[in-house]
Amino acid sequence: MLLSNEHTLLAIPLLPLIGFALSFIIGQKSGKQLSGIIATSCVLLSFLLSCSLFAALLTENSKLQNRLAEIPEFTNKLNLAFSVLLGDWFVVGAVRTSFELLFDNLSAVMTLVITGVGCLIHVYSIGYMKADAGRPRFFAYLNLFVFFMLLLVLSNNLLLLFVGWEGVGLCSYLLIGFWFKDPNNAKAGQKAFIVNRIGDAAFLLGIFLIVTQVGVLDFASIAESVQVINPRLIEIIALFLLIGAIGKSAQMPLHIWLPDAMAGPTPVSALIHAATMVTAGVYLIARMSFLYVLAPQVELLIAVLGTLTALFAATIALTQNDIKKVLAYSTISQLGFMFMALGVGAFSVAIYHVVTHAFGKACLFLSAGSVICACRHEQDMRKLDCGLWKKMPETFVAYLMAALAIAGFPLTAGFFSKDAILWSVFSSKTLVSEFLIFDVLLTKILFGVALFTAFLTAVYLLRSVVLIFGKPDAGAKVQLATISPATDSSEFSVVRWSRTANLTMLVPILVLGFLSLGFGLVAGSWLMEFLQAENLAIEKSFEILSSTVAVVGIALTAVVYFYYRSWVEQLLNIKLFSRAHKILLNKWYVDELYDLVIVRPLSLLSNICKFIDKFVIDGLIQLGAALVNLAGETLRELQTGKISFYLVSLFVANLTLLVLIFILKLP
Amino acid sequence: MDYELITAFIFGLLMLGVALGVIVARKPFASALFLLATLLLMAINFALLSADFLAVLQIMIYVGAIAVLIIFMVILLGAGNKPNEIASSGCACFLNISSWLDGFFDSSSKLEFISEWFQRLVAQGLISQLLTLAFKFFLVLLFSIGLSALLYFSTDWEITLPAVERTGSIHELGRVLFVKYTWVVEFIAILILVAIVGAVMLAHEEKQPLLPGRGLKAKQK
Amino acid sequence: MITFYLIIAALLFGIGVLGILVRRNVLVMLMCLELMLNAVNLTLVAFSRLHANLEGQIFVLFVMCVAAAEVVVGLAIIVNLFRNFYTVDVDIANGLKN
């Protein structure tokens, strides 16, 4: 080893930070392509370092287990973790926070995913942003994002995690509004940031409560002393942290920012809004699992919320016509699945689903990006009927692989993780409710909804596959002439796609597609063991049930959309379905509801405040100034400049003084 | 019959009347003359109070210096005249007197000259003015005499003034002044010096060239 | 009898004050100022006569000197005033107006 473990751990998040600085500085000066190469190599290096550190962790852990096996009395499970301490941040009274990084099993998995998928997406971006004028800024922001995300998953305490949390929110805002000259993009960025802020406020409240109750913020210490806290307070803390996770992971009340975030460049959507940032909420809850096992009511809330979100988003995704919007709602739905798993206490299963979803969704987004590039930024699926499966075969294959994986086709990685989630929901014994009479009934209901949602997932994903890549219909609206790269609207030029750029975009897509297919078979069970999952003995019949549902959904959709597309239109002509379709197309009118209930009263309030500030407060001050002015003007009349007047006033004052002193006898 | 008291009454009331004339007079020159009269009567009052040195000093300083200065100023500044007639008003006065004197000494028949001048005065109405003025003065005098008589006979005035020697004698005054108040005398002297220097500085005027030649000479220098 | 002199002096002082307040000609104001100073002198002399004390008369001497000095400087100022404004109306110098 060239570097010690501690130094490696330190270098993992620092390399992207250096990449951020270098991309900005060097990229602006010399050729713009250099910034992409610098950024990618930094993340690649970080990935290699995390791989080596991971290997070191495994070897050390196995050594430890061997040693422990020699001691027969020792029955506890013990696990190794690397940590490096940089120094104290602040010490206030009894509260001490430090810059400390932790590399244990959970962090290792997340780090590998972030750096690995991030590296592939950087490679893709080199090709995607080839002709964009703002490339150095883009790669700098991407690297900054990777740094913050790594900080989030590698931190040892809640406060440093919160720093990473805020940082990824910031980078998300910067990257969504990357093409800031269009005001819609800027607005989308603002929306993301503001909705995130709502969650962050609750997160902070949770952190404050923990500090007041326990006095420490690092995970190990909280885990030790979590029993001490009042149970009701535990629930409240868990609730606050949950609200933070809801904001970040786009669950139901705060999901509104994710579809709008598709205004950013496609690599951004892939990295941030599919693979990594939106999983920060899941990671947080998994990290604080020791807290959540003690808060059963909040767990119930998480499970119900996750299920409802999954269903809600899946229904919307059925009707959307924009490629990226379908994928966005699909992301929300899959995140709902992850929250479902968290709700029943299967934290490792949720992380497993994070990993498989990262591969699959990133692949989907990147191939969609290729398609968008090729069809000159046409994002409406209905207009893409031009037999792309022949014209872009590699992209088609990759997209199909990832879609099958997420839909849950048997033996794909997505199938294994989704199966594990469904099984843990079905067989959960920890879900407790004081409000419903039959606990068991509740888990079965949730399972039923989840299964239906899985079916819907298959439907909408295959629908998108067929619509995007399907055979040409009569009346194709877009002709594929030359494939033009992504451009900023200020620098439009139709350039022939170079072979290298094509390769940089293609290789990551294929890699991710194969990963999403084969990861489950190869490393699935090992990952579950690594993350210390329990209750994994899935019954055979259950597996058959879930795979049947998925296959049926896939096949049905493919057939219908491929051959009997007119049936769909006739179906929509029925009044019931057309009304339902309209509601779903308009996203259940959630945005409009929020606008009516929240945004308008707030803007009214802010207008009132503005009025008060301008007229009342400023008016008071101006009144004071006006009074002084008035007094001055009035008293100025005394200064006549006439000596005779001054003499008279002198005499009168003198007289008054004399009268006061000698006649009225005032001292 | 207390002659001292009556005299005091008369001269005191007369002084008040003349003082009223200072503020009432229409022309500033008349005010100056009334001031002169007031200062003189004040000297008489000082004398009545056995401060004879001060009475003499009053006449010397006030009447002889201050009042004269004021009258000079009134003449020079032509108080109330229009600008640029400063010189003309003062000069006119002097020219009038000098021309009368010339006429007086040049004329053959002095009596005739005087009668002619007198007739001119009557024609101009100056005699009537003088008579009116004299009449007014007489009235004031009468008024003060009357009032003092009234005062004397109406009130029981304290007649007893301590029978003292001539306390205002210059010997006594000098002894107290230069023995007890030497320093004050010195400071007063410095004060007067400062006043002189200040007045000279304030009243200093830049020399204005009156003739073209003079101006050229000034430039050549 | 001292009372009479005191009353006269007081009245004379009052006349002087009245003159200063009423008249606009600066030279007449100066004359009224002299009236006031003389009234004070009379008071001092009267009291000196009452108490048979010479100090009153000495003070009067000093007052006269100061008055003389003051008249000199005052007249110099008036000359300057006249040179600038060509009039001795005291209300003309209203540069401190407002």
Indicate the pLDDT class of residue A386, thresholds 50, 70 and 90.
low
Q: Read off the amino acid at residue A207.
A: I
Indicate the pLDDT class of residue B83, thresholds 50, 70 and 90.
very low
Of B16, B74, B195, the CB nearest to C8: B16
Give C79→chain B minimum CA distance, Å: 7
Q: What is the DSSP code (8-state) at residue C87? A: S
**Which residue did the predictor score with more confidence, A168 or A391?**
A168
Q: Is there a contact between C79 and B15 if contact means CB atoms under 8 Å apart?
A: no
Question: What span, in angstroms and rounded, lies between the C-alpha atoms of A350 and A282?
Answer: 7
Question: What span, in angstroms and rounded, lies between the C-alpha atoms of B203 and B77?
Answer: 13
- The pair of three-digit structure tokens given for residue A576, joined into one six-digit string: 């019931």
Q: Which residues of C touch A644 (CB under 8 A)?
A: 21, 24, 90-91
* A vs C contact (3+ beta-carbon pairs below 8 A): yes
- The pair of three-digit structure tokens given for residue B183, joined into one six-digit string: 């320093």
Indicate the pLDDT class of residue A430, thresholds 50, 70 and 90.
low
In angstroms, what CA-CA distances link B169 with A325, B176, B188? 124, 11, 22
Provide the pLDDT for residue A295: 84
The topology under which CATH files domain B3-163 is Four Helix Bundle (Hemerythrin (Met), subunit A) (1.20.120)
Provide the pLDDT for residue B164: 57
**Which residue did the predictor score with more confidence, A464 or B205?**
A464
Q: Is there a contact between C77 and B202 if contact means CB atoms under 8 Å apart?
A: yes
Stretch A208-220: mean pLDDT, rounded?
A: 85
Touching C: B residues 163-192, CB under 8 Å: 164, 167-168, 172-173, 176-177, 181, 184, 188, 191-192
Q: Which residues of A touch C94 (CB under 8 A)?
A: 640-642
In angstroms, what CA-CA distances link B83 with A92, B209, C29, C83? 86, 19, 21, 10
Q: Which residues of B touch C57 (CB under 8 A)?
A: 51, 53-54, 167-168, 173
Provide the pLDDT for residue A201: 93
Let me know if A464 is exposed, middle or buried by CB neighbors in 10 A (0-12, 13-18, 19+).
buried
The helix (H) or strand (E) run that includes residue A7 is helix A5-29
ipTM field: 0.91
Stretch A273-279: mean pLDDT, rounded?
A: 77
- Minimum mean pLDDT among A245-254, B210-219, C24-33: which range? B210-219
Instruction: Name all contacts of A374-379 with Cβ < 8 Å and 24+ positions apart.
Output: A374/A480, A374/A483, A374/A484, A375/A478, A375/A480, A376/A478, A376/A484, A377/A486, A378/A478, A379/A322, A379/A323, A379/A324
pLDDT of residue A526 exceeding 90, the answer is: no
Provide the pLDDT for residue A483: 41
pLDDT of residue A10 exceeding 80, the answer is: yes
Question: Of B4, B7, B34, B54, which to mutate for an interface test with C (greatest number of C Cβ within 10 Å)?
Answer: B54
pLDDT of residue A14 exceeding 50, the answer is: yes
Residues 6+ apart with CB under 8 A from B75: B29, B89, B90, B93
Q: Which residues of C touch B74 (CB under 8 A)?
A: 27
Of B35, B80, B203, the CB nearest to C76: B203
Provide the pLDDT for residue B115: 82
Task: Name A83's bridge partners.
Answer: A102
Beta strands A82-92 and A95-103 are antiparallel
Q: Is there a contact between A639 and C97 if contact means CB atoms under 8 Å apart?
A: yes
Q: Which chain C residue lies closest to B181 (C-alpha atoms)?
A: C58
Indicate the pLDDT class of residue B221, thresholds 50, 70 and 90.
very low
Give A634→chain C minimum CA distance, Å: 10
Q: Is there a contact between C94 and A648 if contact means CB atoms under 8 Å apart?
A: no
How far is CA A388 from its chain centroid?
31
How do the domains of chain B map onto residue ranges? 3-163, 181-221
* C10 interfaces chain B, CB cutoff of 8 Å: no
Q: Which residues of B touch C66 (CB under 8 A)?
A: 188, 191
Average pLDDT over chain A, rounded to an integer: 82
- Minimum mean pLDDT among A24-38, A492-506, B122-136: which range? A492-506
In angstroms, what CA-CA distances link A611 with A595, A620, B33? 22, 13, 75
Q: Read off the amino acid at residue A603.
A: S
- Residue B75 three-state SS: helix
Greatest mean pLDDT among A80-89, A324-333, A432-441, C50-59 lies in A324-333
* A vs B contact (3+ beta-carbon pairs below 8 A): no
CB A519 within 8 A of CB A356: yes
Q: Which chain C residue lies closest to B14 (C-alpha atoms)?
A: C8
Stretch B59-67: mean pLDDT, rounded?
A: 94
For chain C, which domains are there? 2-86 (1.10.287.3510)
**Which residue did the predictor score with more confidence, A404 or B165?**
A404
Q: Is there a contact between A639 and C90 if contact means CB atoms under 8 Å apart?
A: no
Indicate the pLDDT class of residue A490, thresholds 50, 70 and 90.
very low
Provide the pLDDT for residue A66: 82
Indicate the pLDDT class of residue B88, thresholds 50, 70 and 90.
very low
pLDDT of residue A569 exceeding 80, the answer is: no
Q: Is there a contact between A640 and C94 if contact means CB atoms under 8 Å apart?
A: yes
pLDDT of residue C12 exceeding 70, the answer is: yes
Question: What span, in angstroms and rounded, lies between the C-alpha atoms of A584 and A573?
Answer: 15
**Which residue did the predictor score with more confidence, B104 or A212?**
A212
pLDDT of residue B215 exceeding 60, the answer is: no
Touching C: B residues 41-80, CB under 8 Å: 42, 45-46, 49-51, 53-54, 57-58, 61-62, 65-67, 69-70, 73-74, 77, 79-80
From A453, A401, A462, A460, select the one nearest A422 (Cα to Cα).
A453
- The pair of three-digit structure tokens given for residue A510, joined into one six-digit string: 């294929």
**Which residue did the predictor score with more confidence, A111 or C94?**
A111
Residues 6+ apart with CB under 8 A from A403: A360, A364, A461, A462, A464, A465
- Minimum mean pLDDT among A117-121, A406-410, A507-511, B95-99: which range? B95-99
Provide the pLDDT for residue B86: 38
Task: Name A98's bridge partners.
Answer: A88
The size of the B-C interface in CB pairs under 8 A is 187
The size of the A-C interface in CB pairs under 8 A is 28
Residues 6+ apart with CB under 8 A from A345: A292, A293, A299, A424, A428, A430, A431
Q: Render pLDDT for C38-83 as a digit per residue (tens, 0 to 9).
A: 999 999 999 888 888 888 899 999 999 999 999 999 999 998 888 8
In Å, the largest CA–CA distance within chain A is: 119
Touching B: C residues 25-64, CB under 8 Å: 25, 27-28, 30-32, 34-35, 38, 41-42, 45-46, 48-50, 52, 54-55, 57-58, 60-62, 64
Question: Of C24, C41, C57, which to mutate for an interface test with B (greatest number of B Cβ within 10 Å)?
Answer: C57
From C84, C98, C40, select the one nearest C64 (Cα to Cα).
C40
CB A499 within 8 A of CB A380: no
